[in-house]
Amino acid sequence: MKELNIAVVGATGAVGQEILKVIEERKVPFKSLRMLASSRSAGKEITFMEKTYTVEETTLDAFKGVDVALFAGGPASRAFGRDVQAAGTVVIDNSSTFRLEEDVPLIIPEVNGEAAKNHKGLIASPNCSTTLLVGAINPLHQKAGVKRIIVSTYQAVSGAGAAGLTELEDQSRQILDHKPIHLDVFQHQIAFNLIPHIDVWQEEDYSKEETKVLHETHKILDAPDMAITVTAVRVPVMRSHAESVYVEFENPLSPDEAREILAAAPRVVLQDKPHDNIYPMPITATGSDDIYVGRIRKDLYNDHALNLWACFDQIRKGAATNTVQILELLLEKDWI
Amino acid sequence: MKELNIAVVGATGAVGQEILKVIEERKVPFKSLRMLASSRSAGKEITFMEKTYTVEETTLDAFKGVDVALFAGGPASRAFGRDVQAAGTVVIDNSSTFRLEEDVPLIIPEVNGEAAKNHKGLIASPNCSTTLLVGAINPLHQKAGVKRIIVSTYQAVSGAGAAGLTELEDQSRQILDHKPIHLDVFQHQIAFNLIPHIDVWQEEDYSKEETKVLHETHKILDAPDMAITVTAVRVPVMRSHAESVYVEFENPLSPDEAREILAAAPRVVLQDKPHDNIYPMPITATGSDDIYVGRIRKDLYNDHALNLWACFDQIRKGAATNTVQILELLLEKDWI
């Protein structure tokens, strides 16, 4: 397999750090590795696979000689993404900046990997809530055709980066110790609370997180008419998202058929033995690259519908792992 | 107003303690008050409205001379409910024991108070998740006729009583301090986790919590054909439940109409200014007797449907307050 010169942009953040871990674990071949971040982090040292790297400031010059740049997310994508692409480096971007642009494939490798084939040098990785939803339902969609989705999310604080994790931990301590809490990342206290507000507000009072899942799912599944309703809620969980999903199909699909399909699907793990207390949960999904699906039940009022509960590690498959898997796909298929 | 001899059964538990608070706050008139609990708690002293009461063991004899007994929930309901009723004491019961029995009205006073009129001496208060759902949607149902509900719950640990609260607090500390956690009340770690499993499993792999909401809603709204799908999830929140609700009506209903109806509905508070970060949340609902509703959005794929987010204090309106409000209803209407 080719060995590439790789840059990780946002290498010091929660997702960037996880991208490095995933590169090591999955033995992604590389010739050289460049660690880029904002000027604030430039000069820091990162030890990775027994070698020490100095973090460099993200500038256009810093991408010279880089074959592929993995952008962890954040403002660097908008500031540099298109220029880096134009300069000949392949960009794999985890931010929302380019996801809906027409010349940018939006890729979950096991779902629509083929769409990356004719990429123009910029490929996007989806929003974490989209990846969880589409990863869980696509195997069923291929079999029975999804018509309608109603999904309520239970989203971990890691979606707001390392600062989100710190805020939940700090506030939890402050509340347990009966001390005043500090608000910084979230609109309200998140410890022992629920906040039905993720990202800014859009048309019809949907949040941007909710509309992202709608539009990104349409694009990934090439199903612009699929009816999708999303309610996005932040919960006091560290780093794994969950979703409660009602899904209606063109054709009837029994829970047993759904279980069989999901058990055989790549990168999906069926956890559906409720009588043994086995179902997806954040604490068991954390640290894994898989999408866990369980609580599969027939809808009592629609024999074309099922209900299910899905969970995955937001920092890994929701961000870092999917980004690296896109790179692996390009390498395997010789699309880079 | 009549002054009654009242017994509180389960007076030392989380709900029993809150029933006492609500009696004081709402100035419910009483001639005498008896504090009953299990033999384990008998002999304890409770100071209430500047008077000290000794907790007595719940036995059939202990109800002699009692006009109305408020059962907080738990095994005492099954053990004593019917016998106490037969002995002439009016029972208002917060447990699930009798809710679906034909001779037992299941009452949310502002929703179906009239159904308590011809009670036979035993009246039930609904499951907390039912009260939140029905309390939030009934004003809209009266206007536009609810056909279909798909609800995902976000349920606080207080639903498992005082021990649930202690377990979340203890586990949160243990995890923050990197110590081993103790499991007692819940099937799995609840701190910083989500558990899609409340109560035992029933037909079609729905949990009993999920089927309770279905059957109790049918009974309260006298709408046995209403299509209701429930996913019940325990979340690491202390004492306020939330629900993400998709609701489809016989007749079209706009978000503005829904807001107007809810703003005027008794015991419902509209909190729907997302651009000002105002929406229902556990931390703002806690301690209140109201049902908070917000995030009202038209469904983008069904002009007969709305989506909303509701929240309330599980120990108060979800249990203690509704139980006391049933007593107030009987007193006001002279049905006791």
Q: Does A197 touch chain B (CB under 8 A)?
A: yes
Taking the CA of residue B208 and the nearest CA in chain A, the distance in Å comes to 12
Q: How far apart are CA A270 and CA A256, in angstroms?
A: 12
Residues in chain B with pLDDT values less than 50? none
Find the closest chain A residue to B165 by CA distance. A192
| Lookup result for tokens 């209403």 | B226
- Domain holding B56, by residue range, is 4-125+319-333
pLDDT of residue B2: 83
The set of residues, in sequence order, having a beta carbon less than 8 Å from that of A59 and lying 6+ positions away, is none
CB A188 within 8 A of CB B277: yes
Going by DSSP bridges, is the β-strand pair B146-154/B122-124 parallel, antiparallel, or unpaired?
Answer: unpaired
Q: What is the mean pLDDT of residues A50-62?
A: 97
Q: What is d(CA B326, CA B110) in angstroms, rounded to the nearest whole number?
A: 10
Which active-site residues of A does the annotation give? 128, 241
Q: Does residue B67 sit in the same domain as residue B150?
A: no
- Nearest CB partner across the interface for A231, out of B214, B283, B309: B309
pLDDT confidence of residue B52: 97
DSSP 8-state assignment for residue A38: -
Which residues of A fall in the annotated binding site for NADP(+)?
A: 12-15, 40-41, 158-159, 180, 314
Q: What is the DSSP letter of B63?
A: G
* Contact at CB, A205 and B274, closer than 8 angstroms: yes
Angle CA(B182)–CA(B185)–CA(B191) in degrees, nearest 5? 60
pLDDT digits (tens, 9 = 90+) for B217-257: 999 999 999 999 999 999 999 999 999 999 999 999 999 99
Q: Does B214 sit within 8 Å of A255, measured CB to CB?
A: no
User: Cβ of A172 under 8 Å from any chain B Cβ?
Assistant: yes
Cα separation, B232 vs B72, whole angstroms: 22
Asked if residues A73 and A94 have their Cβ atoms less than 8 Å apart, the reply is: yes
Band (pLDDT 50/70/90 cuts) for residue A158 is: very high
Q: Is B286 annotated for ligand binding?
A: no
Give me the percent of chain B exceeding a pLDDT of 90: 99
CATH number for A262: 3.30.360.10
Q: Which residues of B touch A172 (CB under 8 A)?
A: 172, 176
Q: Are residues A328 and A260 in the same domain?
A: no
A275 contacts on B by Cβ (under 8 Å): 201
Minimal C-alpha gap between A297 and chain B (Å): 6
- Chain B residue numbers touching A202 (CB-CB < 8 A): none
The complex scores an ipTM of 0.97
- B251 near B304, Cβ under 8 Å? yes
B79 and B44 in a common domain? yes
Cβ pair B279:A236 closer than 8 A: no
- Whether residue B135 is found in the same domain as residue B247: yes
Q: Which two tokens stand for residue A312?
A: 């995955």
Same domain, A308 and A326: no
Is the same domain home to A159 and A284?
yes
**Which 232-251 residues of chain B touch chain A by CB within 8 A?**
233, 235-238, 242, 244, 246
Looking at the complex, does the CB of residue A150 fall below 8 Å from at least one CB of chain B? yes
Instruction: Calculate how close chain A gets to B248, using CA atoms only, in Å.
Output: 12
A208 has pLDDT over 90: yes
What is the predicted pLDDT for the residue at A2?
A: 83
B241 is catalytic: yes
CATH number of the domain where residue A90 is located: 3.40.50.720
Same domain for B228 and B117: no
Contacting A residues, span 272-311, partner chain B, CB-CB under 8 Å: 274-275, 277, 279-283, 294-302, 307, 309, 311
A156 & A259 share domain: yes
Smallest CA–CA separation between A251 and chain B, in Å? 20
Same domain, A155 and A267: yes
- What band does A106 get if pLDDT is binned at 50, 70 and 90? very high
In this predicted structure, what is the pLDDT of residue A232? 98
Domains in chain B, number: 2
Q: Are B25 and B166 within one domain? A: no
Q: Does A187 touch chain B (CB under 8 A)?
A: yes
Known binding-site residues of A equal 12-15, 40-41, 99, 155, 158-159, 180, 234, 314
A258 touches A296 (CB < 8 A): yes
Asked whether the predicted pLDDT for residue A1 surpasses 90, the reply is: no
In this complex, which of A206, A229, A242 lies closest to B194 when CB atoms are compared?
A242
Tell me if B173 and A169 make a contact (CB, 8 A cut-off): no
A247 in the same domain as A210? yes
Backbone angles phi, psi at A74, to 5 degrees: 95, -175
pLDDT (tens digit, 9 = 90+) per residue, B147-200?
999 999 999 999 999 999 999 999 999 999 999 999 999 999 999 999 999 999
Q: Is A189 on the interface with B (CB under 8 A)?
A: yes
Residues in chain A closer than 8 A to B296 (CB atoms): 205
Chain B residues touching A173 at Cβ < 8 A: 176
Q: Does B82 touch chain A (CB under 8 A)?
A: no
Yes or no, beta carbons of B152 and A197 under 8 Å apart: no
| pLDDT tens readout for residues A255-303 | 999 999 999 999 999 999 999 999 999 999 999 999 999 999 999 999 9
Instruction: Note whether B194 contacts A281, CB cutoff 8 Å.
Output: yes
User: Alpha-carbon dihedral of residues B94, B96, B97, B99, nearest 10 degrees?
Assistant: 90
The torsion region of residue B247 among left (phi > 0), alpha (psi -120 to 50) and beta comes to beta
Residues B134 and B268 in one domain: yes
